[in-house]
Structure 1
């Protein structure tokens, strides 16, 4: 029998702190504790990359249930559709107009944070809203 392993989700991005703080707000996460021996993420980054502060950032679920999210600066920009995306599950168990109302309310909450609404997928019963984060990465409100 295999054992369950912890995992983190890693985002390639241009501005790790900005993207991390966006996802903290979306998911109710917190900035991850600073690595041992450092007083801040900026100090940690400067120790590894003196000319390029802000290379890494992370956030965690304060309950410990969700995976750690890790953000790393990469030189190239996003050029294609994500091969993996997050579904933010706010309408679980709801259907029809009740589900749609909850999804729309969450969409309205995320827009001022920098999210962009892409499109609504709705068949009269099931629905989700496809969105983009502050760097254009797709995610769904489900």
Structure 2
């Protein structure tokens, strides 16, 4: 039997980072619990102080297929390279013509830079100058790649 799971990203501003990842993945803000029209209504009903409303966020695949992602407010900044990261697979694989792969990678990266990402490094294929993928960081410095 499999276990249901999500990924949680620690961050200083869950709403900001959640919005970025909605853009990056085509996800949407997760629905509030059943019986509630908005998160604000639910948080108010649960007596959560307004200054704690951005302590967490969650986004979901609008098609309900892929795992949801949670964002948790933590006090400490990121200090080292992530050991786990997401690869946004936009190029179509190595069977695609290289010029199309590179166009797709660069177009996606440009959109994400506009949304707050930073490109750290262009990673070539082994023993060549041909682009394999781009290594980026989200608005709070969490690593991911556009492949």
* Offset of residue 99 of structure 1: 1.3
In structure 2, distance between residues paired with 1:95 and 1:72: 40
How does 1:1-142 map onto structure 2 within 5 Å? 3-36=1-34, 38-45=36-43, 47=46, 49-50=48-49, 51-93=51-93, 94-123=96-125, 124=128, 127-142=132-147
* Offset of residue 105 of structure 1: 1.0
Cα distance change on mapping 1:95 and 1:140 into 2, 3 Å: farther
In structure 1, distance between residues paired with 2:40 and 2:132: 40
- Normalised TM-score (structure 2): 0.85
Contact 1:41–1:57 (Cα < 8 Å) also in 2: no
Unaligned runs of 5+ in 1: none
Contact 1:95–1:126 (Cα < 8 Å) also in 2: no
Unaligned runs of 5+ in 2: none
Contact 2:122–2:131 (Cα < 8 Å) also in 1: no
- Normalised TM-score (structure 1): 0.87
In structure 1, distance between residues paired with 2:33 and 2:144: 28
Identify which range, 93-102 or 115-124, moves more after superposition: 93-102
Aligned residues: 140
